[in-house]
């Protein structure tokens, strides 16, 4: 083998291990050092060593174990250097023993789930939980995460550092919570995963690569949770919800990039395989007999799909699901969608009567779907002037050009 080929091979093996095992290795190191940032640094140094060593000595038979051995040594060195001035000898001893003992096990234990629980701990600011998980479990860099969450890389970097400091200093545990706490704590993990997924969806056309990738990464996290906690109905519900949304991605845009609302989509363009998987998950979740927000959201997606496929109106069922969902979240967003379903059953006037008011929640003033829904209902009710003004605000709040031109088109057909 020429040196060049050795290089390429080393790189491709390292890349493959990185993709498959990054989170596992970080979790292993962080759970024993309590220091996520140091675990990441140690691992990235281990990858650098691998790229220097493997082309010369050949790729090891167990690259994961090789990386872990090197990273473990680096982590201990770093810890020694950092805590030289502190009374930490005893702590260091415990850490070293933990790392050594676990390293002799034949297989590296998968502690990614425990790490996700640490990232979504109630003591961590809710807004940073999703970015933190994307970084520590999947190894995304601050720049990529920042662009997906529409913040500057410097700000995102600082907030990630702060969160990791909090985990270390406050000693947030790396453990899966006990049964009685699990449901609440899991909700925070699922919420963070869903937040990452939704950020990916704010570019529904999939033109922004960083954001489109984020939906895939979030789905990977959701699958990981369902693999590691196969009996949790809400985790199954979340994955089903994501699969349903993802299955229709292609149908949301015409070839020219024009936005297509659900009612006008061609069901033949949906990914039937993904929909089937979602339906199986919903069924599996329902056998557990504990309903929750994500299962209801998934059931709603499922109802929409059934209606569009068969052409049989099922609005009563949809409204019922929204009622149940509203009981969980009390969210005005749910109330808006519920009103739109009521419009299909009882007309626009009845729907307008149950729309949430700006006085209920001031945030609605900046929420595009509120104005778009209001405009739609007003237009159907013949209040064209009011509808025009509502469309105006909806258009002003929309960032996606395709949706904007869809709304402009709806506005233009109003008569004065």
d(CA 278, CA 292): 16
The contacts of residue 199 (CB under 8 Å, 6+ apart) are 130, 148, 149, 211, 214
Q: Among 25-33, 79-87, 281-289, 334-342, which window interacts with another protein (CB under 8 A)? A: 79-87
The answer to whether the CB of 153 falls within 8 A of the CB of 181 is no
Using CB under 8 A as the binding rule, whether residue 121 contacts another protein is answered as: yes
Using CB under 8 A as the binding rule, whether residue 269 contacts another protein is answered as: no
Rounded to a whole number of angstroms, the minimum distance from the CB of residue 184 to another protein is 12
Using CB under 8 A as the binding rule, whether residue 169 contacts another protein is answered as: yes
235 to 2, 188, 193, 238, 249: CA distances (angstroms): 48, 11, 10, 5, 22
Identified binder of another protein from the candidate list 84, 362, 413, 415, rule CB under 8 A: 84
The contacts of residue 110 (CB under 8 Å, 6+ apart) are 24, 27, 228
Identified binder of another protein from the candidate list 1, 170, 313, 401, rule CB under 8 A: 170
Identified binder of another protein from the candidate list 172, 342, 351, 390, rule CB under 8 A: 172
The contacts of residue 200 (CB under 8 Å, 6+ apart) are 148, 211, 212, 213, 214, 215, 216, 217, 218
99 by Cβ neighbours in 10 Å (0-12 / 13-18 / 19+) ranks as: buried
**Of the two residues 83 and 288, which places its CB atom closer to another protein in the complex?**
83
Using CB under 8 A as the binding rule, whether residue 182 contacts another protein is answered as: no
The answer to whether the CB of 384 falls within 8 A of the CB of 353 is no
Rounded to a whole number of angstroms, the minimum distance from the CB of residue 87 to another protein is 6
Identified binder of another protein from the candidate list 6, 173, 206, 267, rule CB under 8 A: 173
d(CA 197, CA 102): 34
**Of the two residues 99 and 390, which places its CB atom closer to another protein in the complex?**
99
365 to 125, 170, 194, 391, 413: CA distances (angstroms): 25, 39, 24, 13, 24
Q: Among 74-82, 163-171, 266-274, 377-385, which window interacts with another protein (CB under 8 A)? A: 163-171
Identified binder of another protein from the candidate list 2, 3, 171, 359, rule CB under 8 A: 171
Rounded to a whole number of angstroms, the minimum distance from the CB of residue 35 to another protein is 14
Identified binder of another protein from the candidate list 86, 107, 180, 357, rule CB under 8 A: 86
Using CB under 8 A as the binding rule, whether residue 94 contacts another protein is answered as: no
Rounded to a whole number of angstroms, the minimum distance from the CB of residue 86 to another protein is 4
Using CB under 8 A as the binding rule, whether residue 179 contacts another protein is answered as: no
**Of the two residues 187 and 361, which places its CB atom closer to another protein in the complex?**
187
Backbone torsions φ then ψ of 288, nearest 5 degrees: -80, -15
The SS3 assignment for 256 reads: coil
Binding site for another protein (CB under 8 A): 83-88, 121, 123, 169-173, 175, 177
């Amino acid at each position: 083998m020429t040196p060049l080929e050795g290089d390429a091979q080393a790189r491709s093996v390292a890349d493959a291990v990185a993709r498959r095992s990054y989170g596992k290795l970080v979790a292993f190191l962080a759970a024993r050092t309590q220091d996520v940032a140091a675990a990441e640094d140690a691992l990235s140094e281990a990858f650098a060593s691998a790229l220097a060593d493997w082309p010369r000595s050949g790729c090891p038979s167990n690259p994961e174990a090789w990386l872990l051995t090197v990273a473990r040594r680096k982590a201990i060195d770093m810890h020694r250097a950092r805590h030289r001035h502190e009374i930490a000898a005893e702590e260091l001893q415990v850490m070293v023993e933990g790392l050594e003992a676990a390293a002799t096990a034949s297989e590296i234990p998968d502690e990614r789930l425990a790490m996700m629980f640490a990232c979504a701990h109630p003591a961590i600011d809710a807004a940073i939980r999703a970015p933190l998980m994307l970084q520590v479990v999947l190894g995304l860099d601050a720049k990529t995460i920042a662009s997906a969450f529409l913040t500057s890389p410097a700000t995102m970097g600082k907030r990630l550092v702060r969160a990791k400091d909090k985990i270390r200093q406050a000693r947030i545990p790396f453990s899966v919570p006990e049964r009685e706490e699990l449901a609440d704590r899991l909700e925070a993990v699922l919420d963070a995963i869903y937040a990452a997924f939704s950020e990916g969806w704010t570019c529904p056309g999939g033109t922004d690569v960083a954001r489109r990738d984020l939906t895939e990464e979030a789905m990977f996290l959701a699958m990981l949770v369902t693999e590691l906690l196969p009996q949790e109905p809400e985790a199954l519900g979340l994955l089903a919800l994501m699969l349903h949304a993802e299955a229709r991605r292609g149908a949301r845009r015409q070839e020219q990039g024009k936005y297509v609302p659900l009612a006008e989509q061609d069901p033949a363009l949906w990914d039937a395989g993904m929909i089937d998987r979602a339906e199986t998950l919903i069924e599996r979740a329902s056998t557990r007999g504990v309903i929750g927000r994500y299962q209801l959201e998934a059931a709603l997606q499922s109802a929409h799909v059934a209606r569009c496929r068969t052409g049989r109106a099922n609005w009563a069922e949809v409204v019922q699901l929204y009622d149940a969902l509203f009981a969980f979240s009390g969210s005005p967003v749910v109330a808006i969608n519920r009103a739109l379903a009521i419009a299909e059953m009882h007309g626009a006037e009845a729907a307008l009567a149950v729309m949430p008011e700006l006085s209920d929640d001031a945030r609605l003033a900046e929420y595009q779907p509120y104005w778009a829904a209001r405009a739609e209902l007003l237009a159907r009710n013949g209040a064209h002037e009011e509808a025009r003004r509502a469309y105006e605000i909806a258009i002003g709040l929309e960032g996606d050009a395709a949706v904007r031109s869809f709304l402009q088109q709806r506005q233009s057909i109003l008569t004065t």
